[in-house]
Structure 1
Amino acid sequence: MNEINKEDLKRLVEPFWLQDVMYNESICMIVREDGAVNSRTMFVPEEIISVKDVYLQKEYTEGVDYKWERGTNVITWLPGSAIPFFTQNDIHGKNEAGEYIEQYPAMDELQRSRFGDALYCIEAFLYEKQISITYRYNKNDYKGIIPEYQPERLVNVLSKLEKEKKLKAVFFGDSIFTGLDSSGKHEREPYLPALSDLVKITIEKYFDAEVDMHMTAVSGMDSVWGANTCMENCADIEPDLVVVSFGMNDGDRDPKEVRANMQKIIDSTLSKNPNCNFIVIGCMVANSDGGFLKKQKEYAIEFSQIPDVAFASVFDMHSEILKTKDFIATSGNNINHPNDWLSRIYAMNILSCMIDWEK
């Protein structure tokens, strides 16, 4: 992982709703139903600063590789362009002949698989088609929900950071909280740190403090596992802060039960350290074509009603993002993990609960 300075962090994790430049937003060129090949940005750009490959090493040329019509959020692929693109078959887990590739866990020679009507892939076939665009925009164009600064629910955390300059934190959840599918987690360029590391680095830089981060998340786990293992994974660590998210893998479980499991995690941790504070996160949107979009929205609503904890809903923000963007441009596996850009959105939500960016 490359050294990250404060200027890097400004580009990576300072909230997009407070800035006027979007740095390295992920977009994908896709063959549309009408035959056009294009991608869509989150906002309508006022100026395009750069378009680069996923590794942030090769820059593409306007008028040669792509065309942008002012006043739109559509970036169009040009014939002969060096920019790779997805076909409709690609996105829906089919081969060039339009036949479905094998269901997960089977993999073909390109390391592709499928859930339902959706491609599953974490290798170059997917991520090399996620190019990066930096552009200037009007932040007032964003009409979605934003996480609130919640100092009243993080009193002990903020006091410890300001007075003692140290913090013991736990990152508890499923595969998203392990850092999948950030490039750093997969040890490839541009090496965006895993989510817990990105949050840790930012807190340390912003508060000039030391963070002892314990990442106890495990891939594939649900809120039942979280409730059953919360003593060893949270409480026994006696943290000052727990950042926790479950729900992606809870399927059709009753939202009240999922909330009760989250409450058990909170109560068990408070039994060992009554001064612990919590940030609870509603997870991202899953791919409906892959069958993973179930009751995650309801889980986020339930989590928002838990008293005395900070809360942010990535689900709501991701839903707003998907009004203008393609799902595959935001996901590291096209199913239920964030890519680098959406991992940064996760970090913005978590950090905004405890940082007053406008101060």
Structure 2
Amino acid sequence: MRLERQLGETVVMVGEEPHKLRFRALAEGSLHLRSKLKRDDLDNVSYMEGEHYIVDYDEGTIRRQPGSSIPDWSEHSTYGKTEFNHSDYANYSNRRFTLYTDYQYLRPDDDSEAESSPSMPGALSLLCKKLEQGEAITYVVFGDSISTGAEASGESMKYYHLFAAAVRERFPAASIQVRMKAVGGESSQGGLERLYRDVLSERPDLVTIGYGMNDQNRRSDGTNAVPPEQFGKNISRMIDDIRQHTKASIILITPCLPNPHWKYASSNPTEYAEVLRKLGADKQVAVADLQQIWLEELSAGKTPESLLLNNVNHPNDYGHLLYARALERLIPGESDLS
């Protein structure tokens, strides 16, 4: 067994029900709970174990004490509702209910969950060579609102900045310039239409492509906004055009999952990640499989509201950290985001 740290995990508690943390076998007394990601934020509130909450260190759960000042998600406007339309509510955010926790936990020596094999890492060999040689790298972030960093608490917590910072740490001689070219509310169709203007014109060395969330949206007739087959054609065309006009390395990012109780969440969001995985294999393109990590979080007991700050489809700071971790796994070297 080895002792590891979990930093900035988000929790949302309902009544006095136990909320499952990502890991079990916590080190006794190691958990700290607060209202803000950064402890030194002026309006941060620190909560006290025993007074405000109780931890089961063996089971890896946390729950509110009766009468605790910890926000109770059962008071949220969408609590208990299915097929909810966010447009029906003045405030559907989880911001007020989202807390942050750090703790230590014991991981078995043979547990390789965090070391899952990346998809097509060899596709990034040219990028890694440039980084090793200290070349200037232009990194274009392409995608929808998640890729703009929507709901992150600050610039430094947007997944692409976390990723770029980790790469700079590993390759201190390299210079990485980030070019934000994502557009909120956009599907892969919209991205394809502006690829030449917003991506190819930057002459990038690296492009991350993050689409799928808006493509999967369920329309009133039950169909997807962009069907999986067309989604695959759009992303395939992006890959081909980027390769034709640049020497950029490409990383496809599988999307997180929307809140299944949201009116516009489709029944087949995982198909879009499968499309990207297949494209990665067929075209020898690297894939940052965030959705697999997301599913692991949910399987461990994390709830949609503890991962989505807007309670619909935008990850919170912990979710952005997961995105960055999926990307960083593709780059050689020790993890800076564990």
| TM-score interval, smaller chain | 0.7 to 0.9
- For the residues of structure 1 that align with 2:189 and 2:117, how far apart are their CA atoms? 26
Aligned with 1:87 (options 74, 78, 92):
74
Q: Which residue of 1 aligns with 2:151?
A: 181
Q: Which residue of 2 aligns with 1:268?
A: 241
2:160 matched to 1:196? Answer: yes
- For the residues of structure 2 that align with 1:45 and 1:171, how far apart are their CA atoms? 38
Alpha-carbon spacing, 1:59–1:214, altered in 2? closer, same or farther (3 Å): same
Q: Which residue of 1 aligns with 2:215?
A: 250
The DSSP-based 3-state class of the residue aligned with 1:29 is coil
The DSSP-based 3-state class of the residue aligned with 2:47 is coil
Give the 5 Å matches for 1:140-151.
140=108, 143=113, 146=116, 148=118, 150-151=120-121
Q: Which residue of 2 aligns with 1:293?
A: 265
Report deviation, 1:54: 2.4
Report deviation, 1:49: 3.2
Give the 5 Å matches for 1:17-166.
20-31=4-15, 36-47=16-27, 48-55=30-37, 56=39, 57-87=44-74, 90-92=77-79, 103-105=85-87, 107-108=89-90, 112=91, 120-121=92-93, 126-140=94-108, 143=113, 146=116, 148=118, 150-166=120-136
Alpha-carbon spacing, 1:290–1:358, altered in 2? closer, same or farther (3 Å): closer
Q: Which residue of 2 aligns with 1:215?
A: 180
Question: Which structure 2 residue ranges, 5 or more long, are not aligned?
Answer: 217-223
Q: CA RMSD in A?
A: 2.5
Segment drifting more, 158-167 vs 52-61: 52-61
Q: Which amino acid aligns with 1:155?
A: S
- For the residues of structure 2 that align with 1:89 and 1:329, how far apart are their CA atoms? 13
Report deviation, 1:173: 0.2
Following TM superposition, where does structure 1 have runs of at least 4 consecutive aligned residues deviating by more than 6 angstroms?
none
- For the residues of structure 2 that align with 1:281 and 1:349, how far apart are their CA atoms? 8
Report deviation, 1:327: 1.0
* Count of residue pairs brought into register by the alignment: 311
- For the residues of structure 2 that align with 1:233 and 1:45, how far apart are their CA atoms? 48
Q: Which residue of 2 aligns with 1:206?
A: 170
Q: Which amino acid aligns with 2:294?
A: H
Q: Which amino acid aligns with 2:57?
A: R
Report deviation, 1:135: 1.2
Contact (CA 8 Å) 2:120, 2:284: kept in 1 or not?
Answer: no
The DSSP-based 3-state class of the residue aligned with 2:257 is coil
Contact (CA 8 Å) 1:65, 1:78: kept in 2 or not?
Answer: yes
Segment drifting more, 286-295 vs 215-224: 286-295
Report deviation, 1:214: 0.9
1:111-156 superposed Cα distances (whole Å, 9 cap, x missing partner): x1xxxxxxx32xxxx2232111111123346758835275411011
Q: Which residue of 2 aligns with 1:189?
A: none
- For the residues of structure 2 that align with 1:160 and 1:353, how far apart are their CA atoms? 15
Q: Which amino acid aligns with 1:164?
A: G
The DSSP-based 3-state class of the residue aligned with 1:342 is helix
- For the residues of structure 1 that align with 2:79 and 2:128, how far apart are their CA atoms? 46
Aligned with 1:233 (options 198, 210, 223):
198
Q: Which residue of 2 aligns with 1:330?
A: 307
Contact (CA 8 Å) 2:119, 2:287: kept in 1 or not?
Answer: no
The DSSP-based 3-state class of the residue aligned with 2:242 is helix
- For the residues of structure 1 that align with 2:126 and 2:245, how far apart are their CA atoms? 15
1:196-232 superposed Cα distances (whole Å, 9 cap, x missing partner): 2222222222211211111100000001111111111
Report deviation, 1:22: 0.4
Q: Which residue of 1 aligns with 2:255?
A: 283
Alpha-carbon spacing, 1:149–1:356, altered in 2? closer, same or farther (3 Å): farther
- For the residues of structure 2 that align with 1:177 and 1:272, how far apart are their CA atoms? 23
- For the residues of structure 2 that align with 1:344 and 1:58, how far apart are their CA atoms? 22
2:285 matched to 1:309? Answer: yes
Q: Which amino acid aligns with 1:297?
A: T
Report deviation, 1:287: 0.7
Calculate percent identity across the aligned residue pairs.
24
